[in-house]
Structure 1
Amino acid sequence: MSFSRKSFFSKRALPALLAALLVPSIASAFTPFVVRDIQVNGIQRVDAGTVFSYLPVKVGEEFTEEQASEAIQRLYSTGFFSDVKIDTTNDVLVVTVDERPTIASVSFNGMREFDAPSITKSLAQVGFGQGRVFDRSMLERAEFELKQQYLSKGKYGVEINPIITPLPRNRVGISFDVFEGDLAKISEIHIVGNEAFSEGTLLDEMELTTSGMMTWYTGTDKYSREKLEGDVERIRSYYLDRGYLEYSAEPPQVSISPDRESIFINLTVHEGQPYTVRSVKLAGDLIGLDEQIQPLVQIEEGETFSAAKTNATAKAITDYLGSLGYAFANVNPNPVLDREAQETDLTFYVDPGRRVYVRRIQIGGNTRTRDEVIRREMRQQEAAWYDSNSIKSSRDRIDRLGYFNEVDVHTTPVAGSPDQIDVNVDVKEKPTGLINLGVGYGSTDKVILSAGISQDNIFGSGNTLSLQVNTSKTNRAAVISHTNPYWTQDGISKTTSLYYRRTTPYENSNATGDYRVTALGAGLNFGVPISEYDRVFAGVSFEHNEISDFRESAPQAYRDFVDEYGEKTNSVIFNIGWSKDTRDSAIAPTKGSYTRLSGDVSTMDLRYYMLSAQQQYYLPLGRAYTLAFNGLVDWGKSYSDKAFPVIKNVYGGGIGSVRGYEGASLGPRDSLTNDYLGGSRRLAANVQLYLPFPGATRDRTLRWFLFADAGQVANTDGGCAQGIDNEVEDPCGWKYSAGIGLSWQSPLGPLQLSYGRALNAKPGDDKQSFQFQIGTGF
């Protein structure tokens, strides 16, 4: 008697239920018997033991027609076989199978939008991948999944053609030929049902936009399912932040043109009415901290309900409890609506959970960086109460090292110990060695060439070693430095450096500049952290200065310097200072402040001191606007009977001080050559309003700005040379300007373009409306 599964049901044509009904009908004449032996035929890769494990009978047991049907169903349901047959001969059970081929390889041709590993991982989640059993239905699922990935990126014209290549030992190779096609662009976005807010207001909340002037750069006109979902959520948040607690939206309707190049999006919203907060209460287990938690509530009675303030309150309470060791605290805001009065009673239910402490801190992912380099940045300590503030601070400090692409700090409960957790720090290292070559251009320094080699994490120790070379029309510099950020366990840093600087002083078009100032020096500096944001620094350097190529056509001020100090001078310079940095970014900050105070005192041949101060403040105005303030003061004076050395003067004018005036043009002029001399005193103040660039609202790297500048360069002794025959009316007076500019974090560095107008230029002042610079900040 023989039973063949293949004759009972096709994997597509008939369901398993029909097959189960057919098996007994064919086997009606089957007589039960005791199995003397079991044989398996047709297996190539599947182990015989695997087949035995799916059989409902063993040698020595009675075999019935029900078990025959069950055996066939079990073996076929494994997916390993395309055909299963059971025969009996002289009480021997013979199982014959036809194995499905396995997938030996999966490859992609013509795929550029995705990388192969990520797509391979995605297909594995639907059961298709290398080593899996090949099945036509799974191939169709894989093809569908791959197409969905492209559709989510807005590529509706994608074509996918799978190619199956038979291989020895019952294997197949699968290759997907992909024609990606062009991205479909958004032609129209419409919002229906909005009454309280205009369509334009709601569209401003969305990241996706229709094609515009800057969408070639931002790509926001390219449809993405994930971005659309985010936009739907942003609109929802916009309504909830304004009290519309009954707001709802229907799933967005997305349609595509017949040529598959244009996308049309329709959003239907149901606004409801805004609710006012009638009462705000705290409930749950406040663990006796009512007075401490109550000030954390940001939403007040009588104001319009705001989801943003509600969530911020819940987070503030959670963070506060987390700082006390309650790692699993939960705060649940619950608004109860009074629809007739359009009011809500808001209650925050607080559940602190159990207080826990950190058993151990575990670090992973660092193959080159030593554990101690990461551990010394941790502010959360082992065997101490859990502190969410310390955890966050630790994560930020590790990230600021610049050694890692990713830093993930998370906690896991300790099994069997409800009051303990482990803190896991997982990092993904990035190459910290850097060779850079750069070409820039500035309206003052003209062509700027730079080259350097640096290793920020040499031998995984956290130390930095670098060599940098820069050259331009007026400056040339080479610096080699080594920094140990943890010279002591307390975090005192030590930096040693050697430097060479050659400067041709700034000149105007009438000067020949037949001289140059060369400085050779070595320095040793220390930095001492006094808080998470504050640092005190001090150091000493030795510097040798020489004026070479000195000719009769040199400026009078440099002749006077050589007469008084000589062509060669040596000096030892002591410096001390303090800085505080709370900015959210050192390159493109949007909030926070930066403060720096410093003082230099020089001895030996050059006896002078220079005091400097700088204050920056960034005030966010809504989501896309930032108001920035900057103030700068330098004050130098000689403490001997000689004049302040002209080679140590500071300069003003142009980007970085007062735009609209020629770079370095503020301050005294030489009486013989009209050269810009700078001065021993500099004051500058700037205010700048950053605005989103049209079409690039959410791109913080590209912004335009309005600015107003004020500045003055003079000498602390009161003297102010006014150039040849006193042709410059007031070079040391206050200068004002205003204008418009563009800021972009380009691949070559921060790029700033500005068009400024001098507001109070006097006769003899050198103006320059258009200015730009690569590699400069605010």
Structure 2
Amino acid sequence: MLKRFLLVFCLLLSAVSVGAEGFNVSDILIEGNSRIETSTILAATAIKPGDQVSLEDVDKAMSHIFALGRFADISAELTEVQGAKILTFVVKELPLIRDIQFSGNEELSEEKLRKLVRVRIPAIYHHGKVRSSILDIKDAYAEDGYHAASVEPQLDIDERNEATLTFKVVEGEKVLIDKIRFVGNQAIDGDDLKDAMRNRERWWLSWLTGRGAYQKEELEIDLERIKAVYKDKGYLDIKVLQPEVALIKEDRYFDILIEVDEGPQYRVGTLGFKGDLLTSSEELLEVVSLQQGEIFNRSELHKSLERLTDLYADQGFANANIAPLSNKDKGALIIDLMFDVEQGVKTYIEKIQVHGNTKTRDKVIRRQIPIVEGEQYSASKIKEANRSVRNLGFFEEVNVTTSPGSDDSQKVLNIDVVERPTGTFSLGVGYSSVDRFISQGSVTQDNFLGYGLRLKLAGSISSSSVTYTLGLTDPYFLDTEWTVGLEVYKSEREYDDYDEYRTGGAIKAGHPIAKYTKGYLTYRYE
């Protein structure tokens, strides 16, 4: 071994003395690899037998091998056998991760931490993925208030070069926000500004509720929320500087200082409309909640734009664009608004498509939609469709959207739903002085057979009585607005002197008498 080392050392010195001329390689060998194919490594070297090779070429080849991301160490040896120079790359493979474990995590569950790990087992150890996983875990702890948490990876490698990767967590103490202070706020009280923020100061129940946890990313959004509060009070030139966040009280708490430059307060100047007007400017101004001379309020401006857009959309102009052109007079401290309207092309509903209803019949959903195919587009009717389908109670999610139709004047109305369980099953046991032990059970289904029928089956049994009830209600009988229901029941009860048997039923019918009111008539026979 010593002789070979000296020979390698001498040949490398000889190669250095050759300089740019290099040496001719007769063969290239790979040693130390077990999982990675030799052909893969040779392809990465870009050196072939018979090539004239310099030390720079060898260095590049080693870099290319390392770039494969599969090796912990790489070295190169040059040997001479009967005058032929052989270049050998000796590699040490990274271990194969067979298992991932965690230690020291008490505040965050292992299930949550596993979702943050970017290494999927079995996999070759990857430094970049492990570093990214550590950052994600530390971020998760920071979001929970543990900003001093540290994470270290530990590899336990066996003789087969297979390893268990353990993320060793030191959580540290939870760092909460002690104080949020403001400088420069004259017009708005600091408590009102705090109410707009998601970052909150700690309180005496923080140990239970988690309130006071410092959220760095959320703080950036909080600055925009503070600006929004000022702009709703007419302070359009508001500036909120980057906050100063400092650790206080032996690094146990955060102190946040936010400096604001309020600027002047603006009032509403003139209001007007131009462009494609559905009606007179005076009538359109009735939709706008801002009034001349009042303090400017940005939220009210946005609400006014929504109402104006809905007004046009209810007349079929689904793509109406209403832009508020503002002119800010810093001398008079007023802001003039001119609403520029482009109504676009009048649109119609070309098709109504329902997706995701694996159980519920199409007609159950379609009868909740107050707009039909071929009808003029209406924003208020589409909102009503969204609300009505949700109120069925059959779906976890309801999304009502529109997409382009066959041309600019056509829209496709899409109803996307996600079904949820609509049945319930209950069992109960009770005790009374009359019936002693009572067993009760019921089965209900609010969407029986997918037709929107409501089915109920209930019964109770005790030592002296038995009761059964069966009911079925159709809220849209024969696809009309009539609600028709049928209920039958039977009961038996034993008394000391006699036995009582009851059999009966009821029929009820209902019909809307107002938009959200329905009247019922019930006939019961026993």
Q: How does the TM-score come out when normalised to structure 1?
A: 0.50
Structure 1 residues 131, 525: closer, same or farther in 2, change over 3 A?
farther
Find the aligned partners of 2:103 and 2:373 in 1 and give their Cα distance: 51
Indicate yes or no: 2:509 matched with 1:526.
yes
CA contact (8 A) 1:37 1:93 kept: yes
- Among 385, 397, 401, the residue aligned to 1:394: 385
Residue 306 of structure 1 is matched in structure 2 by 297
SS at match of 1:144: helix
1:309 CA displacement: 0.9
Deviating more after overlay: 221-230 vs 232-241: 221-230
Find the aligned partners of 1:109 and 1:204 in 2 and give their Cα distance: 38
Indicate yes or no: 2:180 matched with 1:189.
yes
The 5 Å alignment of 1:23-422 reads 28-30=20-22, 42=33, 44=35, 76-77=66-67, 79-80=69-70, 82=72, 100-101=94-95, 106=100, 123-124=117-118, 128-130=119-121, 134-156=125-147, 158-166=149-157, 172-176=163-167, 178=169, 183-206=174-197, 209-211=200-202, 220-225=211-216, 228=219, 231-257=222-248, 261-282=252-273, 286=276, 293-352=284-343, 363-366=354-357, 368-379=359-370, 381=372, 386-412=377-403
Residue 610 of structure 1 is matched in structure 2 by none
1:233 CA displacement: 3.8
CA contact (8 A) 1:158 1:178 kept: yes
Find the aligned partners of 2:480 and 2:257 in 1 and give their Cα distance: 59
1:271 CA displacement: 1.1
Residue 542 of structure 1 is matched in structure 2 by 524
CA contact (8 A) 1:39 1:92 kept: no
Structure 1 residues 305, 484: closer, same or farther in 2, change over 3 A?
same
Find the aligned partners of 1:83 and 1:113 in 2 and give their Cα distance: 37
Find the aligned partners of 1:487 and 1:167 in 2 and give their Cα distance: 72
CA contact (8 A) 1:186 1:210 kept: yes
SS at match of 2:133: helix
Gaps spanning 5+ residues in structure 1: where?
A: 1-23, 440-448, 471-476, 502-517, 545-778
Residue 433 of structure 2 is matched in structure 1 by none
SS at match of 1:457: strand
CA contact (8 A) 2:277 2:341 kept: no
1:306 CA displacement: 0.5
Find the aligned partners of 1:427 and 1:332 in 2 and give their Cα distance: 33
Structure 1 residues 215, 175: closer, same or farther in 2, change over 3 A?
closer
The 5 Å alignment of 1:540-619 reads 540-542=522-524, 544=526
Residue 494 of structure 1 is matched in structure 2 by 484
Find the aligned partners of 1:398 and 1:26 in 2 and give their Cα distance: 83
1:536 CA displacement: 3.2
CA contact (8 A) 1:243 1:276 kept: yes
1:244 CA displacement: 0.4
Structure 1 residues 63, 425: closer, same or farther in 2, change over 3 A?
farther
Residue 746 of structure 1 is matched in structure 2 by none
Residue 760 of structure 1 is matched in structure 2 by none
Partner amino acid, structure 2, of 1:337? K
Partner amino acid, structure 1, of 2:505? A
Q: What do residues 102-148 of structure 1 show as CA deviations (whole Å, max 9, x unaligned)?
A: 65565656767667676555555xxx555765323432231122111
More helix as a share of residues: 2
Report how many aligned residue pairs link the two structures: 484
Structure 1 residues 298, 157: closer, same or farther in 2, change over 3 A?
same
CA contact (8 A) 1:377 1:394 kept: yes
Find the aligned partners of 1:348 and 1:46 in 2 and give their Cα distance: 69
Q: How does the TM-score come out when normalised to structure 2?
A: 0.69
Partner amino acid, structure 1, of 2:521? G
Gaps spanning 5+ residues in structure 2: where?
A: 1-15, 430-438, 461-466, 492-500
Find the aligned partners of 2:508 and 2:153 in 1 and give their Cα distance: 64
Residue 453 of structure 2 is matched in structure 1 by 463
Find the aligned partners of 1:480 and 1:72 in 2 and give their Cα distance: 80
Structure 1 residues 218, 51: closer, same or farther in 2, change over 3 A?
same
1:70 CA displacement: 7.0
Find the aligned partners of 1:192 and 1:436 in 2 and give their Cα distance: 59
Partner amino acid, structure 1, of 2:145? G
Find the aligned partners of 1:175 and 1:370 in 2 and give their Cα distance: 52
CA contact (8 A) 2:197 2:225 kept: yes
1:175 CA displacement: 4.3
- Among 394, 402, 424, the residue aligned to 1:434: 424
1:32 CA displacement: 9.5
1:193 CA displacement: 1.3
Percent identity of equivalent pairs: 26
1:335 CA displacement: 3.3
SS at match of 2:21: coil
Find the aligned partners of 1:228 and 1:359 in 2 and give their Cα distance: 46
1:149 CA displacement: 1.7
1:329 CA displacement: 4.6
1:229 CA displacement: 5.2
CA contact (8 A) 1:41 1:94 kept: no
Structure 1 residues 405, 349: closer, same or farther in 2, change over 3 A?
same
Partner amino acid, structure 2, of 1:391? I
CA contact (8 A) 1:40 1:48 kept: no
Choose between structure 1 and 2 for higher RCO, CA contacts under 8 A separated by at least 6 residues: 2
Structure 1 residues 243, 72: closer, same or farther in 2, change over 3 A?
same
CA contact (8 A) 2:143 2:213 kept: no
Find the aligned partners of 1:313 and 1:36 in 2 and give their Cα distance: 80
Structure 1 residues 69, 209: closer, same or farther in 2, change over 3 A?
closer
1:196 CA displacement: 1.1
The 5 Å alignment of 1:644-683 reads none
CA contact (8 A) 2:24 2:50 kept: no
Find the aligned partners of 2:207 and 2:355 in 1 and give their Cα distance: 40
1:357 CA displacement: 5.4
Find the aligned partners of 2:295 and 2:95 in 1 and give their Cα distance: 65
Find the aligned partners of 1:455 and 1:205 in 2 and give their Cα distance: 43
